[in-house]
Amino acid sequence: MSGLYDETAAEREMATHTQQESRKGFFTDTTLCIGCKACEVACKEWNQLPADGYAFTGNSYDNTGELNGSTWRHVAFVEQLRSGALAAPAAPPPQSPAQSQSQSQSQGAPTGGHQVVHPDAGRWLMESDVCKHCTHAACLDVCPTGALVRTEFGTVVVQQDVCNGCGYCVPACPFGVIDKRDYDGHAGKCTLCYDRLQDGETPACAKACPTESIQYGDVEELRTRADARLAKLQREGQYTDASLYLRDTGDGIGGAGAFFLLLDKPEVYGLPPDPFDTTRDLGRLWRHAGYAALALVGVTALAALGTRR
Amino acid sequence: MPGLGTTLGRGGATTFQQDLQHSDCILIMGSNMAENHPVGFQWVMEARERGAEVIHVDPRFTRTSAVATRHVKIRPGSDIAFLGGIVNYIITHERWFHDYVVNYTNAPVIIDPRFRDTDDLDGVFSGFDAKQEAYDLASWQYEDLDMTGSAGRRMGSTVSGGKLVTHELSPSEKAAVDRPLEHGEPPHVDFTLQHPRCVFQLLKRHYARYTPEMVEQICGSPKEHFLAVAEALCANSGRERTSAIAYAVGWTHHTEGAQFIRTAAMIQLLLGNIGRPGGGILALRGHASIQGSTDIPTLYELLPGYIPMPEEGMTDLATFLYETTAKGGFWGHMDAYMISLLKAWYGEHATAENDWCFGHLPRINGDHSIYPAMMGMFEGSVKGFFCVGENPAVGSANASLHRRAMANLDWLVVRDFFEIESAAFWYDSVEIETGVLRTANIKTEIFLLPAADHMQKDGSFTNTQRLLQWHHKAVEPKGDARSELWFYYHLGKRIREKLRASSDPKNRAINELTWNYPELGALEEPDAHAVLREINGWGPDGKALDAYTKLKPDGSTACGCWIYCGVFKDEQNQAARRKPGHEQSWVAPDWGWAWPANRRQLYNRASADPDGNPWSERKRYVWWDAERKEWTGHDVPDFVKDKPPDYVPPDGAKAEKALDGRSPFIMQGDGKGWLFVPDGLVDGPLPTHYEPEESPVDNALYAQQSNPVRERWPSAINPYHPSGSATGADVFPYVMTSYRLAEHHTGGGMSRTLPHLAELQPEMFCEVSPALAAERELVHGTWATIVSARSAIEARVLVTDRVPDYEIQGRPVRVVGLPFHFGRRGIAVGDSANDLWSISADPNVHIQETKAATCDIIAGRRPRGPALSALVNDYRRRAGLPAEE
């Protein structure tokens, strides 16, 4: 896949910001998510965020709806079951005693290679979403006050005491992550627990996740881990639909600090299929605008000259 | 508890959650483990990632099903048919683990010739007294040998269906009671398993009708799915492989819940999975420290460490010990456990001369569990109630009855973090709304006392795997909040102060108690370490004991709970040990402390073959070291450390010495896993499928519709729907089942008040299939009213394919799913599902059936005020039931 950016240049650019620390991020593996929402609660507890409201949505078990200024982790629930499908048989025929005897007597490496969640019944997808901490973060680029910064961990953080609530960052985010809060007028989003990172601690969500669906660490290492995980799932025939989302540094945001292993298309989870840095064309636009302005100046000058003549 | 206790010897989980990672197949049934035990569920995920089958058999497709390798639907309340079908499959296809079954279970034992099975008597066993609705257990015994159930009492009487049934022993029965094992064996056994009255043959005949076709008829589980589960368990059991079964309150909340659990234990014995790594039965408890609350019980029929509470007529200690001491195994030391307990409680006052103060203990004469107690409140015979750690106005079946019962008390003490529904019912409840209760007429004096939470006090939790973990106080409780320990200790002190001058002999039971814990700090908090040390016990030198085997029946040792002896070994709080997992073996023996004796896997001698060698290298765990002449391995051996595999008990041997070197179930009187339970369960020696109290269908197997000795309290406030094909049953055509969500905690007192949890599941809702929604014109996201003869509640409608439809005996059966957390107080509010349920209960453990009953559901919100009573009365009239009082 040809990248919109030169990956190495992008990473180099990142590196100039992050002399002290290696880039930190999340790898969220949805095949391990049990939908317990411990991440949502741990995030709000640690970051002292208020509840958003108490409305039954009817959208499966998701009652918080989306990421916003005060919800920095959000678990999506996607029901993909067909009516009556739970009754459909999907069983191997029973073995004869002789067959099974030989199997159970054989030296026992685990069988492996079975289909997780048999397909006839359908499935219930769960995905814990979070700020992607983009390599090319539009929110950061458009922030006029400098409240949004790239930290020494390569993460993107809003400084609450600098944010003036202008809200430019909100439409800039290609994922709809960052949002302005009603209660204090500031923009808010995941900081990757910047305060915890400074003390060498794991972000609250990853710490609370009981099944290691949310994995925290050096982005480079997480990418290697994600690649290995995908390869294993494909090799063993588990989750043949699995793919990595935002892991590719050649994508529209130059890869993300927080990337995902998904079991369906991104849009099924409410994620944009082909996100790009909304400021990527700014330079070109300004150049064109500059040329236009220059041309205008030239035409005016010519006209002036012509008049004088 | 008795499901596992009678079968294996102890009521606790046989394994620990970390061990699930070694399972080759995990069957989760009667549990929604991912939602309700998400932290422990990491080990299920670990096993799955290593290639294990993870099977979830459940009425709904839940978050557990979503990550399982297979989900199989099952109609609520039909689990014994499914599990019995697996037993039948194992036997029919000769898949049982022969060497394990013959040596470690009671399969070869020959049963009394008077025994008759349910197949002979159309749904009841021999000994059934239809008038008393209770069983006489005499005919279930071993031939010519009376075996006591683990920590049970000897033959002669039993509390059955809430009634004390006595039985005059014949001379031959008396001889059977007094007869010892012969060199570790009962007198009549057939190791070829061919004798028609041997346990194995009885088992084979009993389950012969539980065919895959019958399973499909009763459970609504497709036959192919059932067969796949049975085959997966068989294929992943044996010398090289092991399977585990995990259950929770989805099995206990039934009128034969103990028998559900027992069937699972039987499967694990037949497949040879108990006591082995990756095997076992994980009893997932429904609440923090619920395991602890039966170990050191809040139950009326038990003393600490599962010592039975004395019954009426047990006038002296000798009688008690004669009735309760087992022929073999560690229950053979009942005298040491009981006398040490009395020394811990009565100290210097307990002497040999006064029978160690045995007379101070209460006596029971029937069922005094919470539901009869509530009936007593309602009827006026029970005047006062301490309501602690529960919220019956939301969390108990027929919650309306509980609210009305509490409104009839003289006094009520509620200790909680918030003003829960059980403290507020007198001005805020459905009954106030309908006019059934009027605030001005409620005479109950309610004391709402603030409780300290776990961060504000020292103490221990005993978790689902018998593991004690200590928590240290982080901050002082605020305001008047106090710990439970503080409350009861100081309450006791004040009562004793009032009784100090009394010479009334009945007050000696209180005045002579040791009640002298050190008091710490400005709040005079009793020292929780001192309590734990007393639970552990001490020897003649006053030093903490290190093992229950050191307890003596001569009054020289004191011990508050014999199974916890060792938790204060070396004068150290062993429960407070927190060595990280990566610094020790995977068994992690240095994290906390597990009863008994810090054993993590119970009955682990069964991980070795009769000669003491591992069944296989892959499943090596505990084995006999012939050179050092001792048992060794990855865990503390659950066996006499130096008893060789070829040990044969000499004549006259008692207790553990009466068991041979092959028998791994050291708490059982004969050292065997009981496929057939001769004693200890009041509703049958073999689990048998019965329909729930309320069912849309007839029992396809027997004329007997429901458990014949289930506990019932029929009255105008607790009416039961007609069941099966009875007239009026069609007024309540749907099946309802209740459950919890990951986001909330039981009655909600600890979660519905917290914004971060309340926003995740903010309102009461019901889950229905698209077919049911179409049938009743229910609209997703709007309201529905669910109706029973007890009440009607409203809930938001969640139409979802995750709730399957069923076809049972040729007719459609649809299910309404109801989370039971909600109530009127706090942030996340809604009607309480428990308002809908009746109280009918398991006769062994007195646990209510809230996982399966019948109901109706209609579109729209429920009526308010008296119109609600009118709606319910209309349903009652149509079903032929009396109107509300």
* Tens-place pLDDT, residues B826-844: 999 999 999 999 999 999 9
Pairwise CB contact (< 8 Å): A63 & B35 = no
Which of A54, A126, A210 has the CB atom closest to B41's CB atom? A210
Chain B residues with CB-CB distance to A116 below 8 A: 48, 67, 69
pLDDT tens digits, residue range B635-654? Answer: 999 999 999 999 999 999 99
Of B38, B18, B750, nearest to B455 by C-alpha is B750
pLDDT tens digits, residue range B442-471? Answer: 999 999 999 999 999 999 999 999 999 999
Pairwise CB contact (< 8 Å): B756 & A44 = yes
Residue of A31, A61, A103, A105 to mutate for B, most B C-beta atoms under 10 A: A61
In chain B, where does the domain assigned CATH 2.40.40.20 lie? 711-878
d(CA A163, CA A66): 22
Instruction: Choose the CATH number for B1-108+199-286+600-685 among 3.40.50.920, 3.40.228.10, 3.40.50.300, 3.10.620.30.
Output: 3.40.228.10
User: Mean pLDDT for chain B?
Assistant: 95
Chain A residues with CB-CB distance to B758 below 8 A: 51, 54
* Those residues with Cβ within 8 angstroms of residue B611's Cβ, 6 or more apart along the chain or in another chain: B624, B645, B646
Q: What is the pLDDT of residue A1?
A: 37
d(CA B532, CA A279): 64
The answer to whether B549 contacts chain A (CB < 8 Å) is no
Interface of A with B in 191-250 (CB under 8 A): 210-212
More confident residue, A2 or B499: B499
A109 CA to chain B: closest CA distance, Å? 9
Lowest mean pLDDT among A251-265, B259-273, B300-314, B454-468: B300-314
pLDDT tens digits, residue range B361-398? Answer: 999 888 889 999 999 999 999 999 999 999 999 999 99
Give residue A110's pLDDT band: very low, low, confident or very high (50, 70, 90): very low
Pairwise CB contact (< 8 Å): B45 & A211 = yes
Q: What is the pLDDT of residue B162?
A: 53
Is residue A266 predicted with pLDDT exceeding 80? yes
Is residue B614 predicted with pLDDT exceeding 70? yes
Give residue A89's pLDDT band: very low, low, confident or very high (50, 70, 90): very low
Q: What is the pLDDT of residue B166?
A: 65
d(CA B839, CA B465): 29
CATH 2.40.40.20 fits B711-878, yes or no: yes
A74 CA to chain B: closest CA distance, Å? 10
Is residue B1 predicted with pLDDT exceeding 80? no
Give residue A291's pLDDT band: very low, low, confident or very high (50, 70, 90): confident
Q: What is the pLDDT of residue B495?
A: 97
More confident residue, B173 or B572: B572
Is residue A83 predicted with pLDDT exceeding 60? no
B337 CA to chain A: closest CA distance, Å? 40
Chain A residues with CB-CB distance to B69 below 8 A: 114-118
Which of B45, B800, B804 has the CB atom closest to A87's CB atom? B804
Pairwise CB contact (< 8 Å): B224 & A90 = yes
pLDDT tens digits, residue range B641-688? Answer: 999 999 999 999 999 999 999 999 999 999 999 999 999 899 999 999
The answer to whether B814 contacts chain A (CB < 8 Å) is no
pLDDT tens digits, residue range A117-134? Answer: 444 568 999 999 999 999
Give residue A82's pLDDT band: very low, low, confident or very high (50, 70, 90): confident
Counting residues of chain A whose pLDDT is more than 90, the rounded percentage is 66
Q: What is the pLDDT of residue B104?
A: 98
The answer to whether B234 contacts chain A (CB < 8 Å) is yes
Chain A residues with CB-CB distance to B93 below 8 A: 94, 96-97
Of B686, B820, B845, B695, nearest to B761 by C-alpha is B820
Give residue B549's pLDDT band: very low, low, confident or very high (50, 70, 90): very high
Strands (E), chain A: 24-29, 73-80, 123-130, 148-150, 156-158, 179-180, 187-188, 214-218, 243-245, 258-262
A285 CA to chain B: closest CA distance, Å? 44
Pairwise CB contact (< 8 Å): B781 & A56 = yes
Pairwise CB contact (< 8 Å): B224 & A110 = no
Q: How far is CA B104 from the centre of its chain?
A: 24
Is residue B23 predicted with pLDDT exceeding 50? yes
Helix axes B199-206, B79-92, angle to 10 degrees: 120
Q: How big is the A-B interface in CB pairs under 8 Å?
A: 201
Is residue B443 within 8 Å of B457, Cβ to Cβ? no
Pairwise CB contact (< 8 Å): B770 & A122 = no
Number of Cβ atoms within 10 Å of the Cβ of B75: 26
Pairwise CB contact (< 8 Å): B796 & A58 = yes
d(CA A82, CA A76): 19
Pairwise CB contact (< 8 Å): A51 & B758 = yes
pLDDT tens digits, residue range A41-69? Answer: 999 999 999 999 999 999 999 999 999 99
Of B862, B785, B841, nearest to B818 by C-alpha is B785
B406 class by beta-carbon count within 10 Å (0-12 exposed, 13-18 middle, 19+ buried): buried
Which of B67, B73, B743 has the CB atom closest to A86's CB atom? B73
Counting residues of chain B whose pLDDT is more than 70, the rounded percentage is 98
d(CA B514, CA B498): 16
* Those residues with Cβ within 8 angstroms of residue B344's Cβ, 6 or more apart along the chain or in another chain: B514, B534, B535, B537, B558, B559, B560
Interface of B with A in 771-810 (CB under 8 A): 771, 780-781, 796-798, 800-802, 804-805
Is residue A17 predicted with pLDDT exceeding 60? no
For A97, name the nearest residue in chain B, comparing CA atoms only.
B93
Which of A37, A81, A95 has the CB atom closest to B802's CB atom? A81
Of B155, B161, B171, nearest to B128 by C-alpha is B161
Number of Cβ atoms within 10 Å of the Cβ of B440: 6
d(CA B121, CA B126): 8
Q: What is the pLDDT of residue B148?
A: 78
In chain B, where does the domain assigned CATH 3.40.228.10 lie? 1-108+199-286+600-685
The answer to whether B48 contacts chain A (CB < 8 Å) is yes
The answer to whether B861 contacts chain A (CB < 8 Å) is no
Stretch B258-287: mean pLDDT: 96
Which of B225, B234, B759 has the CB atom closest to A89's CB atom? B225
Give residue A9's pLDDT band: very low, low, confident or very high (50, 70, 90): low
Of A126, A79, A125, A268, nearest to B767 by C-alpha is A79
Counting residues of chain A whose pLDDT is more than 70, the rounded percentage is 80
Interface of A with B in 105-144 (CB under 8 A): 105-118, 121-126
Chain B residues with CB-CB distance to A90 below 8 A: 70, 224-225, 228
Copy the structure tokens of residue B111.
Answer: 């049963």
Residue of B93, B759, B808, B861 to mutate for A, most A C-beta atoms under 10 A: B759
Q: What is the pLDDT of residue A298?
A: 78
Q: What is the pLDDT of residue B154?
A: 45
Interstrand relation of B281-283 and B243-247 (parallel, antiparallel or unpaired): parallel
Stretch B261-265: mean pLDDT: 98
> Cα B194–B200–B203 angle (5° rounding)?
130
The answer to whether A283 contacts chain B (CB < 8 Å) is no
Q: What is the pLDDT of residue B193?
A: 98
Q: Name the pTM for this structure.
A: 0.94
User: Mean pLDDT for chain A?
Assistant: 84
Is residue A3 predicted with pLDDT exceeding 60? no
Stretch A1-6: mean pLDDT: 43
